[in-house]
A and B are shown apart, each in its own frame.
Chain A
Amino acid sequence: MEQTFTVAEVPRVPPRSVNRESIISGLWLLCALFAVVIVFFILLFLVWDGLPAFQEIGLVPFLTGTTWSPTFVPPAYGILPLIVGTLLVTIGAMVIAVPLSIATAIYLSELAPYRVKVAVKPAIELLAGIPSVVYGFFGLIVLVEFLRITFQVPSGESMLAGAILLGIMSLPTIISVSEDAIAAVPREFREGSLALGATRWQTIRQVVVPAALSGITAAIILGMGRAIGETMAVLMVTGNAAIIPSPITNVLSPVRTLTGTLGIEMGEVAIGSLHYHALFAVATVLLLITLAVNLGATRILARLNARTTGRKKGVSLRLSGIVDSPQTGKVVLGLLALLVAAVIGAVGGLVSAGAALMVIIVLAFALPRLSRRRSQQLAFLLLYAAVGVVLLILAIILFDIVSKGLPALSWEFLTGSPRDLGRAGGIFPAIVGTLYLVAGSIAFALPLGIGAAIYLVEYRREGRLTRLIRVGVDLLNGTPSIVFGLFGLTFLVLFLGFGVSMLAGQLTLGLMVLPTIIRTTEEALRQVPQGLREGSLALGATRWQTISRVVLGPAAPGIITGTILSIGRAAGETAPILFTAVVFSQRYLPASVFDPVMALPYHLFILATNVPGAETNQYGTALVLILLVSAIYAVAIAVRTRYHTALRL
């Protein structure tokens, strides 16, 4: 082919704005790396402060010792009761939450009419938005009292109370992730089964749920992660005796969890003592457990993704193979029956245990012999009942707090300073303190989070670096809030010398919400169609021009929703600010970022646990906190609903 270039050679244009582009992309890379650096720092500081304890006590005695009494002479540092307590409360929570959540998820995705769904979903999200200290408060005042009277025990502060409360708190996580998984099952599966003459319930049980199983598993593991890492609610209702229940199925025994130990003792320990180091060792153990749990869930979800996109078949298939087989089902059901009987036996004596076992055996015999129509009716009835229970729980909590909190609300309460240890006077400094903390944390986390997400999505060349960053974000996401609190204490308050201050609290809360912001921003960016980017680049726009003028606009509602959710979370959290930022009583507002502040969640915590006779103001504070957080959530939900419809391309 002969060459004829008669057009004058176009002068090579000097690379325009390439420098500016690489500076910008470098900036986002730094944001993304920040998450990794922080995880590294958290691990480093926890292990660094925990190491002396491991050395002095010894790893094995520390993990297997059955006595935790750091203030006795001689002190004992065995965390086995704490680990057992954490496991018992978590298992109990899952026994309560898993059936309710999966039933609710099935109802929402398979049975609920559209209008019911639109109403129920925000209600469940509201359940997620209630701050853990409010759950703890409700548990302490209502649930614990209820258990005391029902079982006629001296105190209702028990493993059962912790399990119920944690179960309720993990409902929203398990429900929403399972519902996504069930909704993602292709419609053809359902149609195929129904077209063979299967009933709806048979289709749900034998086709839909098995197909969604890995997603549901991941949901349960995520819920578990949340339960293990929860501090405030557990601390307020479990009684906190560092003992192993005897017998182990005695659900009315008080227990103490890893997180509870940190929440109770960290504030009072002498810095640098063996006890101080032992608490960091506890935090290290806690962090490792939650990280393992969360990484497990992330991996299952990732494989699920790979499977639905048809790239790899992985553990999920094997997993569903195991769960599908009829033997496994029978073994699991048998074990559950024994567990139930054992628990009832420990609480109500041998006779009731025997009776429970009988009932279970009769049911196991009768249920498979029901007609298809009957068993569908029964199953749907149970689903409705489960949804009813979930909504009832929400209603009871809200009714209790709103009805008893309203009388406390007054102009003086909202604008005055606390008097008489918070029994009288107002909570104005706490409201302002919370607003300051939230504003500071968002100002810190928002640019970092958005920058990191932009790097991960827009400058992706999937490789080792992006994988590393993703793992970092996942780890940060799985870190319990109390661990952020400890990190804030050792790094910001002590190492950097900020002292107990608003700034330390803002940064700690900011770190805590960072993964949420990164995740939701990533999600929002990913939903912008690739065609828009190509259209812009094909016009000769640079990458940053494309991102800033074409991509960020459509992604904004998603980013805003994520930010608002983070604001809600930061406003309600107690554990991260417990040792970094707050004081109980302060007459004046902080003068600088290095002053400590009051905050609503902490105020409620102290009123509920340490100030007798402050009932009215407790409920008032709880109500203000719930109103604040749900107002924030309502805005988020409104933004989402509005733009999801307006933005559909």
Chain B
Amino acid sequence: MTMTPTTPETIIETRGLDLWYGPVRALKEIAIPIRANRVTALIGPSGCGKSTLLRCFNRMNDLVPDCRVGGLVLYHGADINDPAYDVVELRKRVGMVFQKPNPFPKSIYENIAYGPRVHGERDRKGLDAIVERSLRQAALWDEVKDRLHESALGLSGGQQQRLCIARTLAVEPDVILMDEPCSALDPLATAKIEDLIDDLKQNYTVIIVTHNMQQAARVSDFTGFMYLGELVEYGETLQVFERPTKELTERYITGRFG
């Protein structure tokens, strides 16, 4: 894990972030800074709120009925929960890759071109270039270049997930949120995605939710450990894994939990 010497700037920050699903408080006073061009991992047991927190960064929780948010989520210093904030623009800049690959029932080409198209790109040549560039970035180009116009549903699970990453890259976001992107994949496909994440941080900020602590240790620069809706510990990955400051963190990381 190479650390750049200069302190990276903060691109997203939450302050006192609370979230309720109906009467249930799913997030409690979360304060976390997300560093630009770094990979931040969120770990913790199931139901600890890590996916919920991730979905706060692009306001995906808007789709959940009965969900209320308190506190601040700042993106480039602006409150994204402000009613005047353009959520569509936010989601364009903060992309997301889901747990289960969710390609549209369209061709591979159309899946990638979908994002640029909804943002107004009409030029066929421009689209072709975006499709090729995104697929190359997602390390999928060589596998699919001869069948761009076949259905994306014919791809394997790992390929579908890389397609979803390529689809996200095609709209050139700042930040990519990944919600357990490898949990539905086999070890080989997982290794490919992890390599990809390593490449991505040259140009993007990545936040990844994972169940898998080895994965967090392998791919991330910063790690947040969550438990029962609270952010128990946050710091550089090396520090969190080797010298955790909280006992809870240590017990979770060493597998003595419960």
> Which of the segments B45-53, B83-91, B121-129, B237-245 contacts the partner chain?
B83-91
B167 cross-chain contacts in A, Cβ below 8 A: 535, 539
- Asked whether A460 is an interface residue with its Cβ less than 8 Å from the other chain, the reply is yes
* Contact A4/B9 with A538-B95, A539-B167, A542-B88 known, Cβ cut-off 8 Å: yes
**Least distance between A311 CB and chain B CB atoms (Å):** 12
**Least distance between B46 CB and chain A CB atoms (Å):** 19
B76 cross-chain contacts in A, Cβ below 8 A: 5, 7, 9-10
What is the interface of chain B mostly: helix, strand, loop, or mixed? Answer: mixed
A536 to B92, CA, bound (A): 10
Contact digits for A5-39, partner B, Cβ 8 Å, 1 yes 0 no: 11101101111111000000000000000000000
* Contact A535/B164 with A3-B10, A647-B105 known, Cβ cut-off 8 Å: yes
Interface size of B in residues (CB-CB distance below 8 Å): 44
A539 to B90, CA, bound (A): 9
A539: nearest chain-B partner, CB-CB: B115
A534 to B96, CA, bound (A): 9
**Least distance between A533 CB and chain B CB atoms (Å):** 7
Asked whether A7 lies within 8 Å of B36 as measured between CB atoms, the reply is yes
A187 cross-chain contacts in B, Cβ below 8 A: none
Contact digits for B57-96, partner A, Cβ 8 Å, 1 yes 0 no: 0101001010000000000111000001110111111011
Asked whether B11 lies within 8 Å of A1 as measured between CB atoms, the reply is no
**Least distance between B245 CB and chain A CB atoms (Å):** 15
Question: Of A17, A531, A554, which is within 8 A of B102 by CB?
Answer: A531
Asked whether B60 lies within 8 Å of A7 as measured between CB atoms, the reply is no
Asked whether B95 lies within 8 Å of A539 as measured between CB atoms, the reply is yes
* Contact A532/B102 with A1-B33, A5-B77 known, Cβ cut-off 8 Å: yes
Question: Of B36, B63, B171, which is within 8 A of A540 by CB?
Answer: B171
**Least distance between B216 CB and chain A CB atoms (Å):** 21
- Asked whether B1 is an interface residue with its Cβ less than 8 Å from the other chain, the reply is no
B105: nearest chain-A partner, CB-CB: A554
A13: nearest chain-B partner, CB-CB: B89
**Least distance between A647 CB and chain B CB atoms (Å):** 7
* Contact A545/B78 with A540-B89, A540-B91 known, Cβ cut-off 8 Å: no
**Least distance between B147 CB and chain A CB atoms (Å):** 18
Question: Of A10, A12, A541, which is within 8 A of B88 by CB?
Answer: A541
A537 to B98, CA, bound (A): 12
- Asked whether B114 is an interface residue with its Cβ less than 8 Å from the other chain, the reply is yes
B13 cross-chain contacts in A, Cβ below 8 A: 1, 3
Asked whether B102 lies within 8 Å of A15 as measured between CB atoms, the reply is no
Scan residues 238-297 of chain A and give those whose CB is less than 8 A from a CB of chain B.
Answer: none
- Asked whether B211 is an interface residue with its Cβ less than 8 Å from the other chain, the reply is no
Asked whether B10 lies within 8 Å of A539 as measured between CB atoms, the reply is no
A282 to B76, CA, bound (A): 68
- Asked whether B223 is an interface residue with its Cβ less than 8 Å from the other chain, the reply is no
Scan residues 515-551 of chain A and give those whose CB is less than 8 A from a CB of chain B.
Answer: 529-542, 545, 549-550
- Asked whether B31 is an interface residue with its Cβ less than 8 Å from the other chain, the reply is yes
Asked whether A531 lies within 8 Å of B9 as measured between CB atoms, the reply is no
Asked whether B91 lies within 8 Å of A539 as measured between CB atoms, the reply is yes
**Least distance between B257 CB and chain A CB atoms (Å):** 27
- Asked whether A553 is an interface residue with its Cβ less than 8 Å from the other chain, the reply is yes
A461: nearest chain-B partner, CB-CB: B65
B86 cross-chain contacts in A, Cβ below 8 A: 12-16, 18
A22 to B142, CA, bound (A): 42
A648: nearest chain-B partner, CB-CB: B153
A529 to B104, CA, bound (A): 10
A530 cross-chain contacts in B, Cβ below 8 A: 63
Asked whether B60 lies within 8 Å of A4 as measured between CB atoms, the reply is no
- Asked whether A188 is an interface residue with its Cβ less than 8 Å from the other chain, the reply is no
Scan residues 116-159 of chain B and give those whose CB is less than 8 A from a CB of chain A.
Answer: 117-119, 153
Asked whether B104 lies within 8 Å of A1 as measured between CB atoms, the reply is no
Question: Of A6, A16, A529, which is within 8 A of B9 by CB?
Answer: A6
A462 to B65, CA, bound (A): 7
B82: nearest chain-A partner, CB-CB: A12
B119: nearest chain-A partner, CB-CB: A540
B93 cross-chain contacts in A, Cβ below 8 A: 540
A537 to B104, CA, bound (A): 12
B25 cross-chain contacts in A, Cβ below 8 A: none
Asked whether B65 lies within 8 Å of A460 as measured between CB atoms, the reply is yes
A537 to B114, CA, bound (A): 11
Residue ranges of B at the interface with A (Cβ–Cβ < 8 Å): 7, 9-11, 13, 31, 33, 36, 58, 60, 63, 65, 76-78, 84-86, 88-93, 95-96, 98, 100, 102-106, 114-115, 117-119, 153, 164, 167-168, 171, 177
28 intermolecular pairs with C-beta atoms under 8 Å apart: A1-B31, A4-B9, A4-B10, A5-B10, A6-B9, A10-B76, A12-B85, A16-B89, A17-B88, A460-B65, A532-B104, A534-B96, A534-B102, A538-B60, A538-B95, A538-B177, A539-B95, A539-B115, A539-B168, A539-B171, A540-B88, A540-B91, A540-B93, A540-B119, A541-B114, A541-B118, A545-B118, A549-B118
Which 8 A-B pairs have CB atoms at the shortest separation, nearest pair first? A540-B92, A531-B102, A538-B96, A539-B115, A541-B118, A540-B91, A535-B102, A6-B9
